[in-house]
């Protein structure tokens, strides 16, 4: 069940120009430098995983808290193994092999006990390391040439909107970071992060929802392994208008058992708690009925001057239903995968439009089946964080 049918970006074969660019970037990384690289989800900020100084530089450039661990990108299951401890491999190697066969290359990140050789700076000081094989031909070739794992947090300043094009990365870091341009990311939101062992039943726990669903994972891991879907961020304080609580419905699995988790799951991943994926412009999420209230309250704050309010929606008709009318409207596709692919680009466009407020029209929670509902859930998780109030 490959989400992207193998490799996105250049369809798996690279022309001479692309190969030359990959080769140059591989040399930069091998020498301890930083290169932003494309994946099927978002662009990553790459550096040699086994080079402490290079990894530290990634934290510096991003302004990322040192306790928030990084994902190591590898080109194969064989390379992934090098980063996991022997002990973890003995216990869970078979499970990881099944998952890799089903989902790699692709947007699934596996967190497991780290090998000793993995520097503590990569894992935020913790005993677990996150690893994935990205589905992008240029980046797979890049890693192959580097010959070992490449760390890759999303290539944005900490807390800001993730980049889905080389242009987005340049707008984050200017010339400070070389960018391997592999086109626009087809997936558009970050990978599903799962944790395997130790403890909490030693099943599979979803730490961050992404394009691969807990149900699809349960199907692959089979009988006897519990998959805990985790609690996507929802509700809470979303800004001016408190939005209706997102319903966290149980998604049923296949062979394996799957159940809903609690907030403990999110607590295991330090990067998942705070405001995140956020535009610089104040952003609020609500139903369309909340539009007028949001605009009026921002207007009151601004001392009565006309408010420049942008609308991000999945519905063609939404803009026409808003009073007063939006200054600008960005309409994303009504299907979850299309919406995910366009989301960060749209947030960036609206962020650059000189608005006083961005109103995100609450996306659906249900789709045409459980898989689409899961993707809406992953999107809802990103939007809840992007519209979290600062502080
Ligand atoms: O799709 C993606 O995953 C992208 C592309 C570039 O691969 N990368 C990405 O990295 O989103 P980043 O650093 O922005 O998000 C990684 C998430 C964070 O929430 C982090 O806390 C979590 O994965 N994570 C990484 N290592 C972990 C670990 N050892 N234990 C628990 N969570 C971990
Ligand atoms: Mg990120």
Preceding omega of 197 cis (within 30 degrees of 0): no
Rounded distance from Cα 128 to ligand 1 centre (Å): 12
Q: Look at residue 278 and give its three-state secondary structure.
A: strand
Q: Rounded to whole angstroms, what are the CA distances from 361 to 144, 287, 332, 365? A: 42, 6, 11, 12
Q: What is the pLDDT of residue 10?
A: 46
Share above pLDDT 70 across residues of the chain, in percent, rounded to a whole number:
84
Q: What is the pLDDT of residue 233?
A: 66
How are strands ordered across the β-sheet holding 108-113?
Answer: 178-179, 35-37, 44-48, 150-151, 71-73, 128-132, 108-113, 192-196, 204-208, 226-228, 257-259
Closest atom, ligand 1, to C-alpha of 107: 1
pLDDT of 262 higher than 60: no
Give the model's confidence band at 266: pLDDT under 50 very low, under 70 low, under 90 confident, else very high.
very low
Q: Cα torsion at 257, 260, 265, 266 (round to 10°)?
A: 140
pLDDT of 329 higher than 80: yes
CATH architecture of 283-389: 3-Layer(aba) Sandwich (3.40)
Closest atom, ligand 1, to C-alpha of 193: 23
269 CB near ligand 1 (under 6 Å): yes
Q: Which two tokens stand for residue 323?
A: 């009073």
The stretch 224-250 carries a mean pLDDT of: 47
Say which CATH superfamily domain 6-265 falls into.
DHBP synthase (3.90.870.10)
Rounded distance from Cα 268 to ligand 1 centre (Å): 12
State the span(s) of the chain assigned CATH 3.90.870.10.
6-265
Q: Are strands 192-196 and 328-331 parallel, antiparallel or unpaired?
A: unpaired
**Which residues on neighbouring strands pair with residue 309, listed in sequence order?**
357
Q: What is the pLDDT of residue 209?
A: 94
Q: Look at residue 257 and give its three-state secondary structure.
A: strand
Q: Give the number of other Cβ atoms within 10 Å of residue 13's Cβ.
A: 9
Rounded distance from Cα 326 to ligand 1 centre (Å): 35
Q: Give the number of other Cβ atoms within 10 Å of residue 101's Cβ.
A: 10
Residue 160 DSSP class = B
80 CB near ligand 1 (under 6 Å): no
343 CB near ligand 1 (under 6 Å): no
Q: What is the pLDDT of residue 66?
A: 95
Which one, of 114, 133, 134, 136, lies nearest residue 125 by Cα?
114
Q: What is the pLDDT of residue 261?
A: 52
Share above pLDDT 90 across residues of the chain, in percent, rounded to a whole number:
78
The stretch 120-137 carries a mean pLDDT of: 97
The stretch 366-374 carries a mean pLDDT of: 91
Rg of the chain taking only CA atoms, in angstroms: 21
The stretch 106-118 carries a mean pLDDT of: 98
pLDDT of 6 higher than 70: no
Q: Which of 155-159, 250-254, 285-289, 297-301 has the lowest mean pLDDT?
A: 250-254
Q: What is the pLDDT of residue 222?
A: 87
Q: Cα torsion at 305, 306, 312, 314 (round to 10°)?
A: 140
pLDDT tens digit sequence for 38-69: 999 999 999 999 999 999 999 999 999 999 99
Q: Are strands 35-37 and 71-73 parallel, antiparallel or unpaired?
A: unpaired
Q: Which residue has its alpha carbon closest to ligand 1 atom 3?
A: 191
State the span(s) of the chain assigned CATH 3.40.50.11030.
283-389
Q: Average pLDDT of the chain? A: 88
Give the model's confidence band at 236: pLDDT under 50 very low, under 70 low, under 90 confident, else very high.
very low
CA distance 170 to 176: 9
Give the model's confidence band at 389: pLDDT under 50 very low, under 70 low, under 90 confident, else very high.
confident
pLDDT tens digit sequence for 59-100: 999 999 999 999 999 999 999 999 999 999 999 999 999 999
Q: What is the pLDDT of residue 25?
A: 98
CA distance 81 to 152: 18
130 CB near ligand 1 (under 6 Å): yes
Rounded distance from Cα 272 to ligand 1 centre (Å): 9
Q: Which residue has its alpha carbon closest to ligand 1 atom 10?
A: 153
């Amino acid at each position: 069940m490959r989400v992207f049918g193998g490799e996105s970006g250049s369809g798996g074969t690279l022309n001479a120009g692309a190969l030359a660019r990959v080769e140059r970037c591989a040399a930069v990384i091998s020498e301890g430098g930083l290169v932003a690289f494309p994946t099927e989800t978002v662009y990553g900020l790459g550096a040699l995983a086994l080079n402490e100084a290079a990894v530290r530089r990634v934290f510096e450039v991003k302004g990322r808290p040192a306790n928030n661990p990084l994902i190591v990108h590898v080109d194969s299951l064989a390379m992934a193994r090098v980063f996991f401890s022997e002990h973890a491999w003995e216990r869970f190697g078979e499970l990881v092999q099944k998952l890799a066969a089903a989902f790699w290359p692709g947007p699934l990140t596996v967190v497991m006990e780290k090998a000793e050789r993995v520097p503590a700076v990569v894992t935020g000081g913790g005993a677990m390391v996150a690893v994935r094989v990205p589905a992008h031909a240029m980046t797979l070739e890049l890693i192959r040439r580097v010959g070992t794992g490449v760390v890759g947090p999303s290539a944005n300043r900490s807390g800001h909107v993730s980049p889905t094009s080389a242009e987005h990365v340049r707008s984050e870091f200017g010339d400070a970071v070389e960018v391997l341009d592999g086109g626009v990311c087809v997936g558009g939101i970050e990978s599903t992060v799962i944790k395997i062992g130790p403890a909490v039943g030693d099943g599979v726990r979803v730490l961050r929802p992404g394009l691969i669903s807990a149900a699809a994972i349960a199907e692959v891991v089979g009988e006897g392994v519990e998959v805990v879907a985790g609690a996507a961020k929802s509700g809470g304080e979303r800004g001016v208008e408190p939005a209706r609580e997102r319903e966290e419905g149980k998604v049923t699995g296949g062979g394996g058992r799957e159940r809903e988790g609690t907030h403990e799951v999110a607590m295991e991943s330090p990067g998942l708690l705070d405001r995140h994926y956020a535009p610089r412009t104040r952003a609020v999420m609500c139903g369309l009925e909340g539009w007028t209230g949001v605009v009026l309250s921002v207007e009151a704050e601004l001392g009565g001057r006309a408010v420049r309010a942008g609308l991000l929606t999945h519905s063609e008709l939404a803009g026409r239903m808003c009073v007063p009318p939006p200054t600008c409207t960005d309409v994303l596709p009504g299907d979850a995968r299309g919406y995910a692919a366009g989301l960060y680009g749209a947030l960036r466009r609206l962020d650059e439009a000189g608005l006083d407020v961005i109103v995100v029209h609450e996306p659906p929670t249900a789709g045409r089946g459980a898989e689409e509902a899961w993707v809406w859930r992953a999107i809802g998780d990103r939007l809840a964080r992007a519209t979290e109030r600062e502080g």
